[in-house]
Structure 1
Amino acid sequence: MNPIKLFLKSIWQYKVKQRPVVLSHEVNQKCNLKCDYCDYWRKDNTEETMNTSQIKNLLDEASDFGITLYNMWAAEPLLRKDIDEILEHAHKKQLMTSMVTNGTLLKQKTSQLKHLDYLSVSLDGIQSNIETRGVKPQKIIKGIKEAKKKNIMTSINCVITQKNLDELTDLVKLADELDIIISFEPVYKNKEIDNETWSKTGIKNNKKHKNAINKLIEMKEQGYPIINSKTYLKMIKNPYEIKECSQNDMILHITANGEIKKCRAQNQVIGEYKKGLKNQWKETINKRKQITEECQGCPFFGYVESNLIRKLKIEPIINATKYI
């Protein structure tokens, strides 16, 4: 797939047709971890997950709708046995493919990822990763090295909490040593997370936090492989004051059972894929507008950066072109 051709198609899709570019798919409701700040394992996920055939139909329709990137995540995609078949079908439909994984199964399952273009592996630090995710980082690193052997473009994604502020620079240096890239985003308080847990993980907006972000900005300026734009990094010094939302999002969010949601933050169901992506996109315009107007904001990397690009902010656009 020609990345330049896909980029131009994405511009046409979003700017001219005013449709989303990315299909963000919660491909699985199950997870093998119980991360402190995550809400997925806390949910009563008893609804039926889309099967292989249904997902292929979804990809067919997404391609016809003009989607250019298929991103599978949540809760842990590598728990599915049909990942390779899904990714292969996405490639057949000329979609770029990406995945977000906690990395625990990565070493033994990289053989299923030959049709994966981009891999994001969650890692929050060294000691703090054991505390918040319950996994030793060495296990994750082995998986990353295995993915590198398969020539999969790989990154680390770190969720910034009050617990790992002292380890952010170490993670950047680790990414540099592994010859991969790294992204950061602040922890977000989902409704299912209790106040006691949040008091230990939520960012306090204190001097320590701001100093940690300043150091990331400094390292990016020095050429370390940080994906985030400097504009975004400056914004997350005050992460819970960010409001970058649009009713015509670049990202179309679909749950494991086929529901369409405006976004992962508001978590409101606005439709279902079985009724047709094109029809649902038209029919939900007023609901999406309402949710946008009522939104209190979120610091999610993908949403904020894409909206900065939508608003033609120069530095985020230039930064994004480095990773196409």
Structure 2
Amino acid sequence: MINTVETELLYDNYNRSVNSLRIQVNAICNFHCIFCHMEGTERSMEYMTPEQIERVVQVAASHGVNKIKFTGGEPLLREDIIEIVKRTRTHITGNISLTTNGVELPKLAKGLKEAGLDRVNISMHAIDEYNFHFITGTKKDFLPIVQYGIKAAQDAGLGPIKINFVLMKNINEDQVDGMIKFCAENNCIFQLIEFEANVEKEHSEEYIKYHVSLQPVEEKIKRQALCVEHNPLHNREIYTVNSEFGKVKIEFVKPMRNADFCRHCTRLRVTADGEFKTCLLRENDYFDIKKALQDQDELDNVYKTAVKARIPYWR
């Protein structure tokens, strides 16, 4: 049963509403991706319990939040992830999604759907085993398992599925057409993501080595598009194109030096150890939740303070 109350969205000082939470539930993963930013957190953690996460969701829902995304690490490595989803659904009537590498989906997809999860984003940053191993830092042959996880999610009704693909210079640039084909064949949305870094890391060896603009790819897709939509979150473009295997949607996530991206950000982040975080790229923007978890009014005040503290990173 979903608790419904009168709610009103909160706005930050830049007139941006907050209607979604991105909740990190753990900081461990069975992959070691070369671009992983661990949701902007870089420390050991004592994770919030399902009950504590539910209290945070309840407060956010009382202020109009009706969209939740769970992340990690790899969130499906958390043994109580189904309980977390179930408790969240008690307060959220809108979309509940989860970002995963897909490895655990064959055994968990059905239970997640029954608990109230709507859909999943599945990370698959290469379509060949060599580059997949290089990007994910794995030795085991996980690519077929990830692809089986995609099928398991489809069978469980966790759709539409988005395939996350971080474009990287000289690594997977030549795989875009192959990924479009794969997504068309498997009835998935193809989400192209720009390799990102904050200002302090823009001149790092890693960023220079791997970052590549999405613009040339987008221009090519734009010319082929049957129609263009916009995801309200970050005002992302979504193109529908025809492929030899049918129509496929292609979404572009372009965070770097993109003021429009930040202008349309409607998300507040929650770290696995119990802090609100206003921005992935910003540092020292944490607001402690755990100290307030026993007092709903105090937690409400921390939430309001964090929302008001949001500042567009690019502006």
TM class by shorter chain equals 0.7 to 0.9
* TM-score of the aligned structures, taking structure 1 as reference length: 0.73
Deviation, structure 1 residue 137? 2.8
Q: Deviations over 1:76-99 (max 9, x none)?
A: 100101111111112222343100
Could you tell me how far 1:227 is from its partner in structure 2? 4.5
Structure 2: 5+ residue stretches without partners? 227-240, 293-297
Equivalent positions of 1:120-131 (< 5 A) are 120-127=121-128, 128-131=131-134
Unpaired segments ≥5 residues, structure 1: 298-324
- Deviation of 1:246 after TM superposition, in Å, equals 5.5
- Which of residues 262, 267, 290 in structure 2 aligns to 1:251? 267
Equivalent residues in 2 for 1:71-86, closer than 5 Å: 71-86=69-84
Q: CA deviation at 1:143?
A: 0.3
Q: CA deviation at 1:150?
A: 0.7
Shift of residue 167, structure 1, vs aligned partner: 0.6
Question: Is the deviation greater in 35-44 or in 100-109?
Answer: 35-44
Q: Say whether residues 1:133 and 2:129 are aligned partners.
A: no
SS across alignment from 1:241: coil
Indicate how the Cα distance of structure 1 residues 268 and 219 shifts in structure 2: closer, same or farther if over 3 A, else same.
farther
**CA deviation after TM superposition for structure 1 residue 210, in Å:** 4.4
**Structure 2 residue 62 is matched with structure 1 residue 55:** no
Residue 112 of structure 1: aligned partner: 111
- Match for residue 89 of structure 2 among 88, 91, 102: 91
Which is richer in helix?
Answer: 1
**1:196-242 residue CA offsets vs partner (Å, 9 max, x unmatched):** 43343222x4xxx64433333344433442252xxx57xx5xx6331
Moved more, 176-185 or 262-271: 262-271
Partner of 1:312: none
Deviation at 1:192, TM superposition (A): 7.8
Superposed, 1:1-324 pairs within 5 Å as 13=9, 19-40=17-38, 45-95=43-93, 96-114=95-113, 115-127=116-128, 128-134=131-137, 136-153=142-159, 154-162=161-169, 163-189=171-197, 195-203=204-212, 205=213, 210-221=215-226, 222-223=241-242, 224-228=247-251, 236=254, 240-244=256-260, 249-274=265-290, 275=292, 276=298, 278-284=300-306, 287-288=309-310, 291-292=311-312, 295-296=313-314
- The question of whether the paired residues in 1 share the 8 Å contact of 2:278 and 2:286 is answered with yes
Q: Distance in 2 between matches of 1:56 and 1:287?
A: 23
Could you tell me the percent identity over the aligned residues? Answer: 24
Q: Is the 2:164–2:192 contact (alpha carbons within 8 Å) kept by the matching residues of 1?
A: yes
The one-letter amino acid of 2:97's match is S
Distance 1:157 1:21, change over 3 A: same
Classify 1:84/1:193 alpha carbon distance in 2 versus 1 (closer, same or farther; 3 Å). Answer: farther
Q: Contact 2:24–2:73 at 8 Å: present in 1 too?
A: yes
Q: Secondary structure at the match of 1:75?
A: coil
Shift in Å at residue 43 of structure 1? 6.7
The question of whether the paired residues in 2 share the 8 Å contact of 1:172 and 1:225 is answered with yes
Separation in 2, partners of 1:18, 1:196: 34
Query: Do the aligned partners of 1:181 and 1:225 also contact (CA within 8 Å) in 2?
Result: yes
Q: What is the RMSD of the two structures over their aligned residues, measured on CA atoms?
A: 3.4
Deviation per residue, 1:152-179 (Å, 9 max, x gap): 1022111111121111121111111001
Q: Which residue of 1 aligns with 2:237?
A: none
C-alpha distance in 1 between matches for 2:134 and 2:223: 27
Find the residue that maps to 1:182 and give its secondary structure. strand
Is 2:22–2:68's contact at 8 Å kept on the other side of the alignment?
yes
Distance 1:14 1:183, change over 3 A: farther
Offset of residue 193 of structure 1: 9.7
Give me the TM-score of the superposition, normalised by structure 2.
0.75
Distance in 2 separating the partners of 1:97 and 1:264: 20
Q: In structure 1, what is the Cα distance between the partners aligned to 2:41 and 2:267?
A: 23
Select the structure that is richer in strand.
Answer: 2
* Amino acid corresponding to residue 189 of structure 1 in structure 2: A
Could you tell me which residue of structure 1 aligns to residue 238 of structure 2? none
